[in-house]
Amino acid sequence: MTLLPNSLAARDIAHVLHPYTDLRLHEERGPLVIAEGRGVRVRDAEGREYIEGLAGLWCVSLGWGEMRLVEAAARQMQRLAYIQTFSHRSSEPVIELASRLVALAPKPLTKAMFVNSGSEAVDTAIKLVWYYFNARGLPQKKRILARRRAYHGVTVAAGHLTGLAYARAGFDLPMTDRFFHLTPPTLYREGLPGESEEDFIDRLASELETTIRVLGPETVAAFIAEPVMGAGGVIVPPANYFARIQPILRRYGVLMIADEVICGFGRTGQVWGCDTYGIEPDLLTCAKQLSSGYLPIGAVLISQEIYETLADFSHQHGMLGMGYTYGGHPVAAAVALRTLEIYEEDRVFDHVRQVAPRFQERLRRLGDHELVGEARGVGLIGGIEIVADKATRRAFDPAVKAAGKVVEACERHGLLLRPLAGDVVGICPPLVIRESDIDELFDRLERALDEAAEVLAGARPAAAGG
């Protein structure tokens, strides 16, 4: 690749350190520089148009160019660009946003603490859980259970809970005996031969209870779960999974943390993934679609019972000794508040329920493609698992990066998607997508799959065709 010395791409290679990127490969390939966006489409610096099929990073729910959010940011910037939320200070946008969030929240959540990202939200939830059990005189109750293939962020604490090898390699994770991982609820990959869905759920519930008993209930503080596992491969749980899990948690006094960073605000067809799957959380983390990705903001919601314990303990210590300079930033809060208002004004969640059947129909149709082992999803989120052999579910050698090859073909066909763990291609368009755009998205994806099948033909085992 030859670049002009002072081009955007050349300066990117020279100065930008890209997350989740093969840095040496980036030196050769360079960036795809996105210049503008409108609705569900973006354009690169060369003028090429793409459907943004992952809503940025699962977050741009209202699409690009939503001027009502731009105006909300400008108004607040002019009125009050910044104030802290430490030491009894607050602002109108923060108060209004917290009130609206609590009104939307699953019961019994009553309080919101604002942060800047999903990773920060998870780190904060972990610290609040530890603080809570210390306050109750249960200092041994510190261990937190997650699932393999979970994604809960990449800050140091949240990174311990993220059960993906690429997010741990080279970072000295895990470092403690406080974090443990269980089987993810994917019958396609984790089911035993001949195992029914109900038997599979029974086995996962038994694994959870056995783990708590072996570790010691007095040491296990919380279980954290995404309603639908996003970056781990869009793993949609069996219908009764959480109904079996939660009574076990309650039996042993283990808190339920719902990680709604991807699922929250309509992605699964309901306001929360908790609503879709009947989850009753003690704490809830959210971010991404809280502001439609327009400004960084996240939140941790907690129950009144947890709050009362934290309040008493903070009074003993003189304060709750944690927080973030930009947590509850008034401009981010104003944009998030306007986002929630637009969801209601435009009946965005109703729209999701109207177009989701078409999205899921086109998604399931991909299950017939020679490269697709399973097509799965709910609402406006989906994933296709790329396999070398459909009959045996044999995966490609990881070195092939099969899902990455599909995503590269998608880009050539004007569609931006992302490869996920387990050779899955994730699909998560803005919530405002229309049925005509859904059809165009999947038409482009089908063409890309056909192209990728030719590229990957040499990497498929001979048995796959025989």
pLDDT of res. 171: 83
Strands lying side by side in the sheet with 424-427: 372-378, 381-386, 424-427, 418-420
297: three-class secondary structure by DSSP: coil
Q: Tell me the mean pLDDT in the region 75-87.
A: 97
Highest-confidence segment of 5-9, 19-23, 246-250: 246-250
* Domain presence at residue 21: no
463 band by pLDDT with thresholds 50, 70 and 90: very low
Whether residue 454 is predicted with pLDDT greater than 50 in this model: the reply is: yes
Distance CA 217, CA 238 (A): 26
CATH of the domain at 401: 3.90.1150.10
- 259 and 112 within one domain: yes
Reading the block at residue 153, the tokens are 């962020």
User: What's the pLDDT score for residue 2?
Assistant: 66
For residue 226, what are the CA distances in angstroms to 33, 122, 192, 236, 347? 31, 11, 23, 10, 25
Q: Is residue 439 part of a domain?
A: yes
Q: Please give the average per-residue pLDDT across 364-371, as a whole number.
A: 98
Q: What is the mean pLDDT of residues 146-153?
A: 96
Q: Is the pLDDT of residue 6 over 50?
A: yes
Q: Is the model's pLDDT at 178 over the cut of 80?
A: yes
pLDDT tens digits along 95-117:
999 999 999 999 899 999 999 99
User: What's the structural domain count of the chain?
Assistant: 2
pLDDT at 325 over 50: yes
pTM: 0.95
247 in any annotated domain: yes
**Cis-peptide, bond into residue 108, ω within 30° of zero:** yes
Last residue within a domain, chosen from 287, 321, 345: 345
Same domain, 384 and 285: no
**92 and 53 part of one domain:** no
Q: Note whether residue 8 is domain-resident.
A: no
Least confident stretch, 153-157, 170-174, 197-201, 451-455:
170-174
Mean model confidence pLDDT for the chain:
96
Is 181 domain-assigned? Answer: yes
pLDDT in tens, 287-321: 999 999 999 999 999 999 999 999 999 999 999 99
Do 455 and 433 share a structural domain?
yes
Q: CB–CB of 140/322 below 8 Å?
A: no
Mean pLDDT, rounded, for 49-61: 98
Domain end call among 345, 366, 388? 345
Q: Is 210 exposed, middle or buried (0-12, 13-18, 19+ CB in 10 A)?
A: exposed
C-alpha 372/C-alpha 382 separation (Å) is 13
Task: Answer whether residue 20 is part of any domain.
Answer: no
Report helix, strand or coil for 22: coil
Region 344-370: mean pLDDT is 98
What is the Cα–Cα distance from 329 to 97, expressed in whole angstroms? Answer: 11
Q: What pLDDT was estimated at residue 466?
A: 36
Structural domain ending residue among the three candidates 345, 372, 401: 345
Confidence band (pLDDT; 50, 70, 90) for 190? very high
pLDDT of 211 higher than 50: yes
- pLDDT at residue 260 greater than cutoff 90: yes
Asked if residue 313 belongs to a domain, the reply is yes
Q: What is the mean pLDDT of residues 422-440?
A: 98
- Helical spans, DSSP H, in 266-413: 273-277, 304-317, 330-345, 348-365, 402-412
What band does 465 get if pLDDT is binned at 50, 70 and 90? Answer: very low
- Report residue 412 CA to chain centroid gap: 26
Question: For residues 81 and 383, what is the distance between their CA atoms, to the nearest angstrom?
Answer: 40
- Which residues share a beta bridge with 420? 424
Residues 196 and 261 occupy one common structural domain: yes
Residues 52 and 92 in one domain: no
Domain of 460 in residue numbering reads as: 32-65+348-465
Question: What pLDDT score was predicted for residue 173?
Answer: 81
The pLDDT > 70 percentage for the chain reads: 98
- In this predicted structure, what is the pLDDT of residue 174? 79
Residue 141 belongs to a domain with what CATH number? Answer: 3.40.640.10
Does the pLDDT at position 404 exceed 70?
yes
Kindly provide the b/e burial profile for residues 1-34, where b requires at least 16 CB atoms within 10 angstroms of the residue's own CB.
eeeeeeeebbebbeeeeeeeeeeeeeeeebbeeb
User: What pLDDT is stored for residue 464 in this prediction?
Assistant: 40
Residue 223 backbone phi and psi in degrees, to 5: -120, 125
Task: Determine the pLDDT at residue 133.
Answer: 98
CB-count exposure of residue 174 (10 Å: 0-12, 13-18, 19+): middle
Whether residue 174 has a cis bond before it, omega within 30° of 0: yes
